[in-house]
Structure 1
Amino acid sequence: MAQDVKKLPVSAGAEASGGHGTSPPPVKHKRPIAEERLESLFQTESISSLLNHNEDALRRGDISAGYYVSEQAFGNLMPSLKPLRDRLANHGFSFELTYKGEGMGNMSGGLSKGMDYTHEVRIAMLFDLGRLTRWKPLEGWFLHGIVMNREGRQVGWDHVGERNVLLTEVWSIHGPAAARLADLYVEKSFLNNRININLGRIALTHTYSTSVLLCTFMTMCSAPMAIREPAGWSVYPKTSWGGTFRIRPTRDLILRTGVYRIGPKAVDNTGWAWGSEPYTGIQTPVELTWEPFFGERKLPGHYKIGYAHDTSPYADMIGVVPPAFAGSVQKHKEKPRDTFYIETDQMVYRSHGQHQMAGGYVLAGFVHNTPSNSTFANEFYVGASLLGIIPGRPFDRFGVMYSYYQLSPRTTYGQRLRQMAGMSMGAYVNAPQTHSAILEAYYGIPIMPGLVVTPEFEYMMRPGETSVIPNAVLAGLKVISAL
């Protein structure tokens, strides 16, 4: 099966580097990533057939956004290692060693002026089990693994007064761990690459409700906050036992669905405690993606609709009901949680290449969770990611994003009851919480192969989801390097 993998015009590094404007001429590279080699069941199109009658040549050789968000640095800082990498790959093992550092400071508003730093050091490994063992039953089976270290503090907690929305991408959310195991799963394609499965320990937000474009924004990677926050959506580096089944019904559609065992986020600190890890229920996500190409320049778009049902019992977000209201206010019983989302991105102009990241995009999305037992009832976002907007800097990428977050109305109601009763509304809560919003902008600069430097700006409106804390202005720098 490994011999059947097609040569692709963009490598894993180039895919994400395009997200930050670091996409020099694409490099052909073999990589068994599911969507890149998933053949359609029927050699036709769905509603894309109404757009034009030209052969969709791009789709067959182009990268496919969404399955796995790679690092955003093109090439490597140590090209002298390429012969060794090639020899290892020929024997069935390849790897990517990356560093990501983020420093964000609160310049005005919030709780206080100050800066926090956080980083991630990660090694992503891919084992071609057929080549490694030379055993025919394992031909076409691949093992994916990630081991990483994260350290640092969250500027939103320390200086802004925001504890629901993360203001940086990287944060040691589960506490210190010298080596944390993230994804560890096997992948296999069947029926001449028409069906793809993966099984093991997987971060759901590396498979569902994600894209290369979203992960160029600090506050949106690897998925919108309303997706990442619920315990049922295991977010990297937290993983869940389960698997995903993928098919491409037609050339322009991808359907993915799966079943995952769900457990509390904060219990497993390292990812290695498989036997003692508790679980509360089952998550069953399903996502359909339409990938059309518009016009003579074949501008790609990605239009997703998704739904997930989490069988875990979740408590009413109203919290503690004061005794004075106990006779008139009843808490809802624990019940499962549902999530619905729509996400879109569309290239609006093409520049410096024919691959999918060679141009500028507009993007938008909406997420809805069961309001009574979810921290975030709704989230919507709208933004743009534009390549080469400054003359003489063709591979720089500028991004801007506005995101709006609405908390559960039951959270607001419960806090108002406790406020009227003279009780504490909750830890770090200074008024009934309702909503907040963030305006984020970045400018990604490829310094050299393997190194991207990105100045960042954020304007946090209503920190803590109240009007008590002043709006905060933040600025910082993100550095990504591939060693």
Structure 2
Amino acid sequence: MADVGGGISLGIDYVHELTLQTQFDLGKLVGLDGWTIHTLLMERVGREVSHDRVGDYNISLMEVYSLSGHSVAHLTDMYAQKSFLHNTVDLAFGRMALTHVFATSPLLCSFMMTCSAPVAIKLDAGFSVYPKATWGGRVRLRPTRDTIVQVGAYSVSPLNEDISGWAWAGEKSTGLMLPVEFTWQPFFGRRKLAGHYVLGFAHDTTRYSDNIGSVPVGTARPHSGEARDTFYLEADQMLYRKGGANQMAGGYILGGYIHNTPDVSVISDEFYIGSSLLGIIPHRPHDRFGVMYSYYRISPRTELGERLRMDAGMPLGAHVNGPQTHAAVLEAYYGVPVYPGILIQPEFEYMMRPDETSHIPNAELVGLKVIGTL
């Protein structure tokens, strides 16, 4: 991805990800019918254009670099799974990312910014986001054809801890993440236009320090440690069906809203709205075009602390140019499946208010994303 205008430096950054995914059928191996073991190993290498070129350290514009940076052989998944009662109950436990099943969808991962979850969720340590795995488990219930309820419990550890994914004994646990999510998946009309309407809540028992930070004596008093809650609402609706019966065979509109406890979260509020449209160019039935606008509000408590330090002549912190308030990103892509298993996807991103201030010019970026599945 290249910064071609604005930001702090024009130029190109490159990243790649290699993954090896396996699935073991324990019924065939040891006689435990219905049980499977899932594992995923990953390598990531490259540079992050957000840091190098744009000047933003909160919002990652290149999904592959993401949270972990360089990883030669990162263990992302190792968990067991089994379905019961005609697939109405599904159990999984082991080492896994919480956002494999909570606050995510295939549509979100067709975009760079929101894969595998919206940014306001990615930045919270309690939400272990791919490739950050943690010990945990979840139960998914399907009481009717169109409804799903799932609950989970996951250990919380800092996002930058155990970068390899293998150092289990040295991984520090700070609390427990307890998510619950309700999904309604209706099918409308004779064309069975699929919709997904998700309401979720998660409570992180970890006690986090106040975002206000160090401030001049007498100006404000930091709050004592506080737990973090996250509320999210995500929705998508198929507008037309084209080229098949599966849930990605068509065009969608989508949107979402996330709210985090403001005093102890990097981003207190986010909303996004967009569309993902299949086959909009004649004779190109499998191409997909997507566009999304995302808005991010930095915690007001963070802004207050930075304003107090600035007024007192104190340093604001590394990579901070002024009191941080909000930012927005417009993303567009056009995905072309050039061969079975090969997807070529040109990307465009326009970031407004890098570093969540007005000190850095808005940045224009273009790039190319290539996915190969063997």
Taking structure 1 as the reference length, the TM-score comes to 0.76
Q: Does 1:107 align with 2:4?
A: yes
In proportion to residue count, which structure has more strand?
Answer: 2
1:191–1:353 distance in 2 versus 1, CA, 3 Å = closer
SS at match of 1:431: coil
Name the structure 1 match of 2:174.
280
Query: 2:325 maps to which residue?
Result: 434
Q: Which of the numbers 1, 4, 17 marks the counterpart of 1:120?
A: 17
Post-superposition CA distance 1:67-109 (Å, at most 9, x none): xxxxxxxxxxxxxxxxxxxxxxxxxxxxxxxxxxxxx000000
2:65 corresponds to: 171
Secondary structure of the residue aligned to 2:144 is coil
2:282 counterpart SS class: coil
1 or 2 for the larger relative contact order (CA 8 Å, sep ≥6)?
Answer: 1
26, 41, 66: which is aligned to 1:129?
Answer: 26
Aligned partners of 1:482, 1:311: CA distance in 2, in Å? 38
In structure 2, the residue matched to 1:345 is: 236
Deviations 1:328-354 (A, max 9, x none): 411011110000000000001111122
Give structure 1 regions of 4+ aligned residues with deviation exceeding 3 angstroms: none
CA distance in 2, matches of 1:119, 1:472: 22
Matched residue, 1:188: 82
**Contact 1:112–1:160 (CA under 8 A) maintained in structure 2:** yes
| Contact kept? 2:332, 2:349, Cα under 8 Å | yes
- Determine if the alignment matches structure 1 residue 451 to structure 2 residue 350: no
1:188 CA drift (Å)? 1.3
Letter in 1 for 2:28: R
Name the aligned partner's letter for residue 126 of structure 1: Q
1:312 aligns with 2:206: yes
Which residue of structure 2 aligns with residue 223 of structure 1?
117
Distance 2:45 2:352 in 1: 27
Of residues 351-360 and 448-457 in structure 1, the stretch that sits farther from structure 2 once superposed is 351-360
Per the TM alignment, residue 292 of structure 1 is displaced from its structure 2 partner at its CA by 0.6
SS at match of 2:310: helix
Letter in 2 for 1:208: F
Please, what is the CA RMSD of the aligned residues? 0.9
Q: Counterparts in 2 of 1:46-445, with a 5 A limit?
A: 104-133=1-30, 135=31, 138-171=32-65, 173-322=67-216, 326-445=217-336
Q: After superposing the two structures, state which structure 1 stretch, 171-180 or 394-403, moved more.
A: 171-180
User: How far did 1:190 drift?
Assistant: 2.3
Tell me which structure has the larger Cα radius of gyration. Answer: 1
* C-alpha deviation, 1:172, in angstroms: 6.1
Contact 1:247/1:254 (<8 A) preserved: yes
Provide the rounded CA distance (Å) in 2 between the counterparts of 1:128 and 1:417: 58
Q: CA offset at residue 175 of structure 1?
A: 4.0
Q: State whether residues 151 and 172 of structure 1, in contact with CA within 8 Å, keep that contact through their aligned partners in structure 2.
A: no
CA offset at residue 389 of structure 1? Answer: 0.6
The answer (yes or no) to whether the contact 2:219–2:308 under 8 Å persists in 1 is no
Cα offset, 1:194, TM superposition = 2.4
Kept in 2: contact 1:301–1:347 (CA 8 A): yes
- Per the alignment, residue 51 of structure 1 pairs with none
Give the 3 Å change call, closer, same or farther, for CA 284–371 of structure 1 in structure 2.
Answer: same
In the superposition, relative to structure 1, how do residues 349 and 395 fare at CA in structure 2: closer, same or farther (>3 Å)? Answer: same
Q: Name the amino acid aligned to 2:147.
A: L
CA contact (8 A) 1:150 1:172 kept: no
Structure 1 letter corresponding to 2:258: V
Q: Is the 8 A contact 2:228 2:261 kept in 1?
A: yes
2 CA distance for matches of 1:264 and 1:369?
Answer: 17
* 1:154 Cα deviation after fit: 0.4
Identity of aligned residues (%): 58
Deviation per residue, 1:120-173 (Å, 9 max, x gap): 00011100011122x2xx111100000010011100100001110000110163
CA distance in 1, matches of 2:27, 2:240: 42
1:305, 1:341 within 8 Å by CA — same for their partners in 2? yes
In 2, the alpha carbon distance for the partners of 1:179 and 1:345 equals 35
Q: Distance in 2 between matches of 1:409 and 1:345?
A: 29
Change beyond 3 A, Cα 1:204–1:435: same
TM-score normalised to structure 2 length:
0.98
Q: Is the 8 A contact 1:358 1:387 kept in 2?
A: yes
